[in-house]
Protein backbone atom coordinates (compact mmCIF):
# COMPACT_ATOMS: atom_id res chain seq x y z
CA UNK A 1 0.00 0.00 0.00
CA UNK A 2 1.27 3.44 -0.86
CA UNK A 3 1.10 5.54 2.33
CA UNK A 4 2.44 8.68 0.67
CA UNK A 5 0.32 11.72 1.54
CA UNK A 6 -0.26 14.02 -1.38
CA UNK A 7 -0.27 17.72 -0.57
CA UNK A 8 -2.16 20.30 -2.53
CA UNK A 9 -0.24 22.69 -4.70
CA UNK A 10 0.13 26.17 -3.11
CA UNK A 11 -1.77 27.60 -6.05
CA UNK A 12 -4.59 25.05 -6.04
CA UNK A 13 -8.05 26.36 -5.13
CA UNK A 14 -9.27 25.06 -1.78
CA UNK A 15 -12.93 25.16 -2.76
CA UNK A 16 -14.71 24.95 -6.07
CA UNK A 17 -15.15 28.46 -7.42
CA UNK A 18 -12.43 30.00 -5.24
CA UNK A 19 -9.65 31.57 -7.35
CA UNK A 20 -6.15 30.21 -7.08
CA UNK A 21 -4.18 31.89 -4.33
CA UNK A 22 -7.27 32.52 -2.20
CA UNK A 23 -9.30 30.86 0.50
CA UNK A 24 -13.07 31.42 0.41
CA UNK A 25 -12.65 33.92 3.28
CA UNK A 26 -9.90 35.95 1.63
CA UNK A 27 -11.72 35.97 -1.70
CA UNK A 28 -15.05 37.04 -0.17
CA UNK A 29 -13.61 39.81 2.02
CA UNK A 30 -10.80 40.79 -0.36
CA UNK A 31 -8.33 40.73 2.52
CA UNK A 32 -5.27 41.01 0.28
CA UNK A 33 -6.64 44.25 -1.18
CA UNK A 34 -7.79 45.49 2.21
CA UNK A 35 -4.38 45.09 3.81
CA UNK A 36 -2.62 46.77 0.92
CA UNK A 37 -4.47 50.08 1.41
CA UNK A 38 -2.37 51.53 4.23
CA UNK A 39 0.58 53.61 3.05
CA UNK A 40 2.28 55.46 5.91
CA UNK A 41 4.58 58.30 4.90
CA UNK A 42 6.28 58.73 8.29
CA UNK A 43 8.25 56.40 10.53
CA UNK A 44 5.94 57.04 13.49
CA UNK A 45 4.29 53.82 14.76
CA UNK A 46 1.00 55.66 15.29
CA UNK A 47 0.44 56.53 11.64
CA UNK A 48 -0.72 53.04 10.74
CA UNK A 49 -3.24 53.17 13.62
CA UNK A 50 -4.41 56.58 12.43
CA UNK A 51 -4.92 55.36 8.86
CA UNK A 52 -6.73 52.19 9.91
CA UNK A 53 -8.98 54.12 12.30
CA UNK A 54 -9.93 56.59 9.58
CA UNK A 55 -10.49 53.86 6.99
CA UNK A 56 -12.76 51.93 9.36
CA UNK A 57 -14.72 55.16 9.91
CA UNK A 58 -15.11 55.54 6.15
CA UNK A 59 -16.51 52.01 5.89
CA UNK A 60 -19.02 52.61 8.67
CA UNK A 61 -20.14 55.93 7.17
CA UNK A 62 -20.86 54.17 3.89
CA UNK A 63 -22.73 51.46 5.78
CA UNK A 64 -24.84 54.13 7.50
CA UNK A 65 -25.53 55.79 4.14
CA UNK A 66 -26.80 52.50 2.71
CA UNK A 67 -29.01 51.90 5.73
CA UNK A 68 -30.51 55.39 5.56
CA UNK A 69 -31.27 54.96 1.86
CA UNK A 70 -33.05 51.69 2.69
CA UNK A 71 -35.01 53.35 5.52
CA UNK A 72 -36.06 56.19 3.23
CA UNK A 73 -37.47 53.71 0.70
CA UNK A 74 -39.36 51.95 3.49
CA UNK A 75 -40.79 55.22 4.82
CA UNK A 76 -41.93 56.21 1.33
CA UNK A 77 -43.75 52.87 1.16
CA UNK A 78 -45.21 53.58 4.63
CA UNK A 79 -43.42 50.49 5.98
CA UNK A 80 -42.84 52.01 9.41
CA UNK A 81 -41.88 48.74 11.12
CA UNK A 82 -39.29 48.00 8.45
CA UNK A 83 -37.87 51.52 8.62
CA UNK A 84 -37.51 51.27 12.41
CA UNK A 85 -35.67 47.96 12.10
CA UNK A 86 -33.31 49.45 9.54
CA UNK A 87 -32.67 52.59 11.58
CA UNK A 88 -31.93 50.50 14.69
CA UNK A 89 -29.01 49.11 12.70
CA UNK A 90 -27.76 52.67 12.20
CA UNK A 91 -27.79 53.07 15.98
CA UNK A 92 -25.78 49.86 16.29
CA UNK A 93 -23.26 50.97 13.66
CA UNK A 94 -22.45 54.10 15.65
CA UNK A 95 -21.09 52.03 18.54
CA UNK A 96 -18.03 50.59 16.75
CA UNK A 97 -17.70 53.76 14.67
CA UNK A 98 -17.34 55.91 17.76
CA UNK A 99 -15.07 53.33 19.41
CA UNK A 100 -12.44 53.83 16.67
CA UNK A 101 -11.27 56.94 18.54
CA UNK A 102 -9.89 54.67 21.29
CA UNK A 103 -7.26 53.35 18.88
CA UNK A 104 -5.60 56.77 18.72
CA UNK A 105 -6.60 58.23 22.09
CA UNK A 106 -3.07 57.60 23.40
CA UNK A 107 -1.56 60.16 21.02
CA UNK A 108 -0.05 63.40 22.30
CA UNK A 109 0.73 66.52 20.24
CA UNK A 110 4.28 65.20 19.83
CA UNK A 111 2.94 62.02 18.21
CA UNK A 112 0.45 63.68 15.91
CA UNK A 113 2.79 66.44 14.75
CA UNK A 114 5.44 63.88 13.89
CA UNK A 115 2.91 62.28 11.54
CA UNK A 116 1.43 65.48 10.11
CA UNK A 117 4.88 66.89 9.38
CA UNK A 118 5.20 64.12 6.78
CA UNK A 119 1.58 63.86 5.65
CA UNK A 120 1.10 67.61 5.09
CA UNK A 121 3.88 68.13 2.53
CA UNK A 122 2.75 65.07 0.54
CA UNK A 123 -1.05 65.40 0.67
CA UNK A 124 -1.91 68.82 2.14
CA UNK A 125 -4.32 69.62 4.98
CA UNK A 126 -7.80 68.21 5.30
CA UNK A 127 -10.27 66.75 7.79
CA UNK A 128 -12.71 63.85 7.95
CA UNK A 129 -15.50 66.44 8.04
CA UNK A 130 -14.64 67.18 4.43
CA UNK A 131 -14.61 63.58 3.23
CA UNK A 132 -17.34 62.76 0.72
CA UNK A 133 -18.77 59.84 2.71
CA UNK A 134 -19.09 61.95 5.85
CA UNK A 135 -20.64 64.81 3.86
CA UNK A 136 -23.19 62.55 2.18
CA UNK A 137 -24.16 61.06 5.54
CA UNK A 138 -24.58 64.55 6.99
CA UNK A 139 -26.79 65.59 4.07
CA UNK A 140 -28.92 62.48 4.60
CA UNK A 141 -29.28 63.41 8.27
CA UNK A 142 -30.72 66.76 7.17
CA UNK A 143 -27.76 69.08 7.73
CA UNK A 144 -27.68 70.72 4.32
CA UNK A 145 -24.75 73.09 3.76
CA UNK A 146 -24.10 73.68 0.08
CA UNK A 147 -20.92 75.65 0.68
CA UNK A 148 -19.06 72.41 1.37
CA UNK A 149 -19.54 71.27 -2.22
CA UNK A 150 -16.69 73.43 -3.46
CA UNK A 151 -14.25 71.18 -1.62
CA UNK A 152 -15.14 68.35 -4.02
CA UNK A 153 -14.57 70.17 -7.30
CA UNK A 154 -11.37 68.11 -7.85
CA UNK A 155 -13.63 65.00 -7.69
CA UNK A 156 -16.33 65.65 -10.35
CA UNK A 157 -18.07 62.32 -9.76
CA UNK A 158 -18.31 62.95 -6.03
CA UNK A 159 -19.37 66.56 -6.61
CA UNK A 160 -22.30 65.32 -8.71
CA UNK A 161 -23.15 62.65 -6.14
CA UNK A 162 -23.17 65.15 -3.29
CA UNK A 163 -25.06 67.76 -5.31
CA UNK A 164 -27.78 65.16 -5.84
CA UNK A 165 -27.83 64.29 -2.12
CA UNK A 166 -28.04 67.98 -1.26
CA UNK A 167 -31.07 68.51 -3.51
CA UNK A 168 -32.98 65.39 -2.44
CA UNK A 169 -35.08 64.83 0.70
CA UNK A 170 -33.17 63.91 3.83
CA UNK A 171 -34.18 61.11 6.20
CA UNK A 172 -36.00 63.70 8.33
CA UNK A 173 -37.89 64.99 5.29
CA UNK A 174 -39.15 61.46 4.66
CA UNK A 175 -40.08 61.05 8.31
CA UNK A 176 -42.12 64.27 8.23
CA UNK A 177 -43.78 63.24 4.97
CA UNK A 178 -44.76 59.94 6.62
CA UNK A 179 -46.19 61.81 9.61
CA UNK A 180 -48.20 63.95 7.20
CA UNK A 181 -49.65 60.88 5.48
CA UNK A 182 -50.57 59.50 8.91
CA UNK A 183 -52.76 62.54 9.53
CA UNK A 184 -50.47 64.75 11.59
CA UNK A 185 -50.55 68.45 10.78
CA UNK A 186 -47.22 68.85 9.00
CA UNK A 187 -47.40 72.09 6.96
CA UNK A 188 -47.17 71.96 3.19
CA UNK A 189 -44.37 74.53 3.32
CA UNK A 190 -42.28 71.93 5.18
CA UNK A 191 -43.12 69.07 2.85
CA UNK A 192 -42.84 70.93 -0.45
CA UNK A 193 -39.67 73.01 -0.33
CA UNK A 194 -36.19 73.36 -1.73
CA UNK A 195 -34.41 70.50 0.02
CA UNK A 196 -30.96 71.96 -0.72
CA UNK A 197 -31.69 74.88 1.61
CA UNK A 198 -30.93 74.42 5.33
CA UNK A 199 -34.02 73.22 7.17
CA UNK A 200 -35.90 75.80 9.24
CA UNK A 201 -37.62 74.37 12.33
CA UNK A 202 -41.39 74.84 12.40
CA UNK A 203 -43.64 75.06 15.47
CA UNK A 204 -46.31 73.02 13.72
CA UNK A 205 -43.82 70.17 13.41
CA UNK A 206 -43.08 70.52 17.14
CA UNK A 207 -46.80 70.17 17.77
CA UNK A 208 -46.90 67.07 15.55
CA UNK A 209 -44.20 65.41 17.65
CA UNK A 210 -46.09 66.48 20.80
CA UNK A 211 -49.15 64.72 19.44
CA UNK A 212 -47.13 61.59 18.62
CA UNK A 213 -46.03 61.36 22.25
CA UNK A 214 -49.23 62.64 23.87
CA UNK A 215 -50.48 59.18 24.84
CA UNK A 216 -47.93 56.44 25.68
CA UNK A 217 -50.35 53.79 24.44
CA UNK A 218 -51.12 55.47 21.11
CA UNK A 219 -48.83 55.78 18.10
CA UNK A 220 -46.32 53.41 19.67
CA UNK A 221 -44.53 52.68 16.39
CA UNK A 222 -44.13 56.40 15.72
CA UNK A 223 -42.81 56.90 19.24
CA UNK A 224 -40.33 54.10 18.57
CA UNK A 225 -39.33 55.90 15.38
CA UNK A 226 -38.82 59.12 17.32
CA UNK A 227 -36.66 57.41 19.95
CA UNK A 228 -34.61 55.67 17.26
CA UNK A 229 -34.00 59.00 15.55
CA UNK A 230 -32.94 60.43 18.91
CA UNK A 231 -30.47 57.56 19.34
CA UNK A 232 -29.05 58.23 15.86
CA UNK A 233 -28.65 61.92 16.63
CA UNK A 234 -26.90 61.07 19.90
CA UNK A 235 -24.50 58.67 18.17
CA UNK A 236 -23.72 61.24 15.49
CA UNK A 237 -23.18 63.98 18.08
CA UNK A 238 -21.01 61.66 20.18
CA UNK A 239 -18.68 61.09 17.22
CA UNK A 240 -18.32 64.84 16.72
CA UNK A 241 -17.63 65.34 20.42
CA UNK A 242 -14.92 62.66 20.33
CA UNK A 243 -13.43 64.34 17.25
CA UNK A 244 -13.38 67.67 19.04
CA UNK A 245 -11.78 66.19 22.16
CA UNK A 246 -9.18 64.33 20.09
CA UNK A 247 -8.32 67.65 18.44
CA UNK A 248 -8.02 69.34 21.83
CA UNK A 249 -5.84 66.50 23.08
CA UNK A 250 -3.46 66.13 20.16
CA UNK A 251 -3.48 69.51 18.44
CA UNK A 252 -4.56 72.24 20.81
CA UNK A 253 -5.19 75.77 19.54
CA UNK A 254 -3.03 75.55 16.43
CA UNK A 255 -4.14 76.73 12.98
CA UNK A 256 -5.58 73.73 11.18
CA UNK A 257 -8.47 73.54 8.74
CA UNK A 258 -8.14 76.06 5.93
CA UNK A 259 -6.22 78.49 8.15
CA UNK A 260 -8.77 78.36 10.98
CA UNK A 261 -7.79 77.26 14.46
CA UNK A 262 -8.89 73.64 14.72
CA UNK A 263 -11.05 73.84 17.83
CA UNK A 264 -12.76 77.03 16.64
CA UNK A 265 -13.57 75.31 13.33
CA UNK A 266 -15.09 72.28 15.04
CA UNK A 267 -17.01 73.90 17.89
CA UNK A 268 -19.91 75.26 15.77
CA UNK A 269 -20.52 71.79 14.35
CA UNK A 270 -21.51 70.61 17.82
CA UNK A 271 -24.78 72.53 17.41
CA UNK A 272 -25.61 70.67 14.20
CA UNK A 273 -28.02 68.16 15.77
CA UNK A 274 -30.33 66.30 13.38
CA UNK A 275 -34.14 66.25 13.66
CA UNK A 276 -34.50 69.60 15.47
CA UNK A 277 -38.20 69.58 16.46
CA UNK A 278 -37.87 66.08 17.86
CA UNK A 279 -35.59 67.68 20.45
CA UNK A 280 -37.23 71.06 20.96
CA UNK A 281 -40.62 69.40 21.49
CA UNK A 282 -39.19 67.65 24.56
CA UNK A 283 -39.70 70.90 26.45
CA UNK A 284 -43.48 70.56 26.32
CA UNK A 285 -44.16 66.85 25.78
CA UNK A 286 -46.00 65.43 28.74
CA UNK A 287 -48.11 66.89 31.54
CA UNK A 288 -45.98 67.48 34.67
CA UNK A 289 -47.77 67.34 38.05
CA UNK A 290 -48.74 70.64 39.62
CA UNK A 291 -46.09 70.19 42.33
CA UNK A 292 -43.34 69.72 39.75
CA UNK A 293 -40.96 72.72 39.78
CA UNK A 294 -40.73 72.45 35.98
CA UNK A 295 -44.47 72.96 35.47
CA UNK A 296 -44.11 76.48 34.13
CA UNK A 297 -46.94 78.53 32.76
CA UNK A 298 -45.40 78.68 29.31
CA UNK A 299 -45.00 74.90 29.16
CA UNK A 300 -48.60 74.34 30.18
CA UNK A 301 -49.76 76.85 27.60
CA UNK A 302 -47.85 75.05 24.85
CA UNK A 303 -49.28 71.72 25.96
CA UNK A 304 -52.78 73.14 25.62
CA UNK A 305 -52.29 74.33 22.05
pLDDT in tens, 195-221: 999 999 999 999 999 999 999 999 999
**Looking at domain 44-287, does it have CATH number 1.20.58.480?**
yes
Residue 158 has pLDDT above 90, yes or no: yes
Domain regions of the chain by residue span: 44-287
Q: How confident is the model at residue 304 (pLDDT cuts 50, 70, 90)?
A: very low
pLDDT in tens, 100-111: 999 999 999 999
What is the overall mean pLDDT for the chain?
89
pLDDT in tens, 281-299: 999 888 665 665 655 554 4
Residue 155 has pLDDT above 90, yes or no: yes
> Is residue 167 within 8 Å of 64, Cβ to Cβ?
no
pLDDT in tens, 114-146: 998 898 888 887 776 789 999 999 999 999 999
Q: How confident is the model at residue 263 (pLDDT cuts 50, 70, 90)?
A: confident
Residue 295: closest CA among 283, 277, 279: 283
pLDDT in tens, 218-257: 999 999 999 999 999 999 999 999 999 999 999 888 876 6
Residue 209: closest CA among 182, 170, 171: 182
What percentage of the chain has pLDDT greater than the value 90? 72
**Residue 104 to residue 168: CA distance in whole angstroms:** 36
**Residue 42 to residue 35: CA distance in whole angstroms:** 18
Amino acid sequence: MNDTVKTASPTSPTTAGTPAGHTPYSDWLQTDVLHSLQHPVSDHPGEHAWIVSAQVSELYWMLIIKEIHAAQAQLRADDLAGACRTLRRVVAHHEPLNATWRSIAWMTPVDLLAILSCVGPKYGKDTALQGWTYRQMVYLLGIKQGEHLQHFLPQPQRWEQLSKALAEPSLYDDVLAHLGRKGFAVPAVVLDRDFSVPYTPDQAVENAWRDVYADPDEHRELQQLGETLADIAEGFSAWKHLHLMATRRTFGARPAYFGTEGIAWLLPTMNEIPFPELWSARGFIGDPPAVCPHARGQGNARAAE
